[in-house]
Each structure stands twice: as structure tokens, then as C-alpha cells.
Structure 1
Amino acid sequence: MGRENRRSSELRRSMPLLPMSTVMQLTELSARQIRYYEEHDLIQPHRTEGNRRMFSLNDVDTLLDIKDMLEQGVNMAGIKKVFDMKKNPAVLAAQAKQELSDSELRKVLREEMKMAQGQQKPSLRQGDLSRFYQ
């Protein structure tokens, strides 16, 4: 996809088109939950002249990401950290450069777990990821 197409696609995805009721149906979140995530600056919906929230497709994607993380047991502090990392220029550059495949990610995690076991210390991720290696 050319640069213009990417820019045009991103512009469409960021357009505030969806009212709260539609976003609630799409995400299966309550209005209260959505407002809570807004209060924590995880989403920034556009406000109409009548002060109604209007959401973009990017906002819906963000809400679905938050919902997935909560279902996986990540708390709000963890979710905020993930979103802060996503905004970090170094992380963005690494993502743009190359996405890790699932097999590469598993290899890195296995190596980290081996090193941690050799030092008799739990890996930082071991508690969270042990469910994948049972």
C-alpha cells in the first residue's frame, strides 16, 4: 500500500463517526466502563457541539484491546503501561522494523525462562506465561 493510501486509511479510521450506543454494541462494554477508560486517558473520543461523545474505529479497536487485556487478567496499571509502551518511539520503531513471529517470541521466552531457572530466580514473565507451557 502506498504512503497516500496508508494516510487515507488512517484518516478514515480516526474519523469520529460512532455514537456511544453503537460502540457499546460493538465492544459489549457499558457506557460507564467506556467513560472510565476515557477518564484514564486510554481513549479520547471527539465531542460534538452538544457534548456527545463520538468514537472512531481506532477508539473501538483500543476498547477491544482493553477488554481483551482485562479478560487475560491484566489490571489497569498494566494496561496503562502497555499503552505507554506503544507510544514510545523506540517501541514503535521496533514494531515498524519487524514484528516477531509467534515461534520467535516463544524461542525468546524459552531462553529467558532457562536463564532464570539456571539462576534460581523466577522470570519476570514466567508467572504470566507459564499457562502457555503446561
Structure 2
Amino acid sequence: MNDQDRRSMPLFSISIVKKLTELTARQIRYYEEQGLIHPARSTGNQRLFSFNDVDRLLEIKNLLDRGINLAGIKHIILEDQKAKQKNDEQRNGLSDKELRKILKNELYQAGKMGKSNLRQGDLSRFFH
């Protein structure tokens, strides 16, 4: 399990989140209604918050303390999400399948016409 999966696990009840963030239950429910957080629900329909939800609530609280209204907070959070998504797409530009195909072609091309490649020895064990 990676760190992102751990941070996304719904663990905390609203009473614990209230203590961690110093927000009221009404404020937390309001931010959920506004689509700023998305807590999971237990089988008994109880809200369960993740570390990411708590971080988001603390970010909202900080922005409110700086005098930014809810519309501004929504805009900031939306822009942050878009930037993160764009970074993830750039970082993960090639799928594993595409990378494997490129490396396999590179390996086969290296043996033709007397060419050699530094990766040839490293990669050959994976493609035979």
C-alpha cells in the first residue's frame, strides 16, 4: 500500500475531525455540501474522513482566516486540483505498456547492423 492510498483511507469520525481542525460539525457538513470535501460513509451512514479530508479542512480554515470567501476558496482548490492532475499526467506521460514497447524496440534495433546499446545487456533478460 502506498502513501497516497493510506492518506485516502476513511478513518476519522466527525468528532475526531472537530478536535483536529477546531471546526464545528455544522461547518464541516457545510463544506461537504459545497463539494469541498468528500468523506466516505460507513454502513450506518456515518461520515468517515481521511487524512486528505482533514488536510483540506485545515486548508479551508487557513484560507478563511486570511479573509478569503468561500467562492475564492472553491476557485483556489479547483485550480490546485487541475495543477496536480496536469503534473500527474506529465509525470506519467507513458504507460507501462508504451514504455515496455519502446524499450523492446530499442533492444531489437541495437542488435541490427552491428549497433550496440548500453541497455542491451540489461534489457535482454526481460524479452527472451
Q: Which residue of 1 aligns with 2:103?
A: none
Q: Which residue of 2 aligns with 1:131?
A: none
Deviation above 3 Å: which 4+ runs of structure 1? 89-92
TM-score normalised by length of structure 2:
0.65
> Over alpha carbons, which structure has the higher Rg?
2
- Gaps of at least 5 residues in structure 1 are 1-6, 98-134
Determine whether 1:62 maps to 2:56. Answer: yes
Determine whether 1:42 maps to 2:19. Answer: no
Q: Which amino acid aligns with 2:51?
A: L
Contact kept, 8 Å, 1:16 with 1:55, in 2: the verdict is yes
TM-score normalised by length of structure 1:
0.62
- Gaps of at least 5 residues in structure 2 are 92-128
Cα separation, partners in 2 of 1:78 and 1:44, compared to 1, 3 Å: same
Deviation at 1:93? 2.5
Aligned positions, number: 90
Contact kept, 8 Å, 1:27 with 1:64, in 2: the verdict is yes
1:28 to 18, 22, 26: 22
Q: Which amino acid aligns with 1:17?
A: L
Q: Which residue of 2 aligns with 1:84?
A: 78
Cα separation, partners in 2 of 1:92 and 1:12, compared to 1, 3 Å: same
CA distance in 2, matches of 1:92, 1:57: 22
CA-based RMSD of the aligned residues comes to 2.1
CA distance in 2, matches of 1:91, 1:12: 19
